[in-house]
Amino acid sequence: MFGKYARILRLPGAFAMSASALIGRLPMALEGLGTVLLITARGGSYGLAGATSATFVLSGSFAGPTLARLIDRRGQSRMLPWLAIGHIAGVGVFVSLVEFHWPTWLFVMVAAFAGALVPNFAVLIRSRWSYLLTGTPGLQTAYALESLLDEVVFIIGPPAATLLSVSVAAPLPLLLSMCFVAAGAILLQLQPRTEPIPTSAERRDESPLLLARGMPVLVTVFVLIGGLFGGFEVTAVAFAQEHGSRAYAGPMLALWSLGSLVGGLAFGARKQATPLPKAFLLSLTVLTLVSAPFYFAPSVPVASMLFLVAGIAVSPTLIAGFSLVEGSAPEGRLNEALSWASTGIGVGIALAATLAGAIIDAHGAHAAFIVGSAATLLALLSAFTGRHEIRAGYHPAAATPSGRTDPGALPGGPEARD
């Protein structure tokens, strides 16, 4: 099972590249939940906490494609330091404003600024893997690896965030996220051999990327998958508090990620016989079914088991989805295409977190679970009705792009592609 992962990590620079991005991605599991924990710990409502977290994510989602387009043109090494500096400064100011009880409108504005400049390490690393492995079966394994590492982040992050916030200091998860962004940016800057070659503006297709065939459907599905994430994350905190302790939220979300880790590991190591568009639909169907029963959860232990089971379908859905986006992206616009997928998730998280927070304040946590479950059902319906567009737009590259490492050069020769 692990042979495929070992082979791609033996590419020159691949292990260091992936490890660097892993550190930079740790804030993904700290900043959203850390914002909710900080604001509610300082007396704010779940509605305010959800709206602020949504603002943070939404600003990054809207800024993401533009920043990704600049990264495609100018390169990761030129853009990443400035993004990291701006994001770290914004988070630091945000924490200070909340701690000293400044007006809500002011810290929400700062949250928007910090979110707009968040370095999207998940997009950067997938772009690097595509640069190394486009045209080989190893690319889907690489995407599976990164989804697995995302889940490792979310296994570690939520329990750590809740423990640190509740037991040590409410701002600590956000302060640690600043350190991880800085470390990830510095370490990734030291990996130039895996950086994709910037594409000059003259060679790039400047038509709106969302008009590319299949992309509107895929981005819509990613928005709705984000609705699952945003709805369930905020609701988990409120559900845990209603049942005795906010600290239960971290372990519940960690079990969700653990299930996703197991599902992603199996999906990435499988024989890739099922066509990718069909695998995407199948995984979405399973995700819809296992996300439905949360409304009826009577206790934290039952909800925890539901999170574990539901997580198994998360990574396969994301792996297949990102692979479809990569195969649908116009030449020279991969960062931008992947950023649109990430933007879709961010928009969904923001809208669902806001809606779930309002429902929690009005009706309690059980009712708010409907937000995530409904979003997943709509994602499946969107993918099913748009399945022909997805298939028509998916054209995986068949050739090794010039200027990058050939996977056939790995120990073991061409069989390393399998």
Ordered by where they begin, the domains of the chain are 13-194+209-395 (1.20.1250.20)
**Pairwise pLDDT comparison (171 vs 246), residue with the higher score:** 171
Average pLDDT, the chain: 81
pLDDT grade for 409, boundaries at 50, 70 and 90: very low
Predicted local confidence at residue 412, as pLDDT: 33
Most confident of 316-330, 338-352, 363-377, 400-414: 363-377
C-alpha distances out from residue 237 to 20, 51, 364, 387, Å: 30, 15, 11, 35
Whether residue 285 is predicted with pLDDT greater than 90 in this model: the reply is yes
Please state the rounded mean pLDDT for residues 318-334.
80
Predicted local confidence at residue 26, as pLDDT: 86
Please state the rounded mean pLDDT for residues 76-91.
91
pLDDT grade for 332, boundaries at 50, 70 and 90: low
Please state the rounded mean pLDDT for residues 8-22.
86
Please state the rounded mean pLDDT for residues 46-59.
80
Pairwise CA distance, residues 267 & 291, whole Å:
19
Predicted local confidence at residue 206, as pLDDT: 63
Q: Which of 86-100, 118-132, 154-168, 339-353 has the lowest mean pLDDT?
A: 154-168
Whether residue 86 is predicted with pLDDT greater than 90 in this model: the reply is yes
pLDDT grade for 406, boundaries at 50, 70 and 90: very low
**Pairwise pLDDT comparison (68 vs 288), residue with the higher score:** 288
Whether residue 88 is predicted with pLDDT greater than 90 in this model: the reply is yes
Cβ contact 350:58 at 8 Å: yes
Predicted local confidence at residue 403, as pLDDT: 37
Own/partner contacts of 404-410, CB < 8 Å, gap of 24 or more, are 404/131, 404/132, 404/196, 405/11, 405/12, 405/132, 407/7, 407/8, 407/11, 407/132, 407/133, 407/136, 407/138, 410/7, 410/10, 410/11
Predicted local confidence at residue 382, as pLDDT: 94
Predicted local confidence at residue 322, as pLDDT: 84
Percent of the chain at pLDDT above 90? 18
pLDDT grade for 416, boundaries at 50, 70 and 90: very low
Pairwise CA distance, residues 367 & 339, whole Å:
32
Predicted local confidence at residue 84, as pLDDT: 92
Please state the rounded mean pLDDT for residues 365-384.
92
Whether residue 320 is predicted with pLDDT greater than 90 in this model: the reply is no
Predicted local confidence at residue 417, as pLDDT: 29
Nearest to 353 by CA among 246, 231, 249: 231
Please state the rounded mean pLDDT for residues 44-57.
79
Tokens of 351: 């809208």
Nearest to 253 by CA among 131, 384, 163: 163
Please state the rounded mean pLDDT for residues 6-13.
84
Q: What does the H/E/C string look like for 308-355?
A: HHHHCCHHHHHHHHHHHHHHHCCCCCHHHHHHHHHHHHHHHHHHHHHH
Q: Which of 17-26, 36-45, 227-236, 365-374 has the lowest mean pLDDT?
A: 36-45
DSSP 400: P
Whether residue 413 is predicted with pLDDT greater than 80 in this model: the reply is no
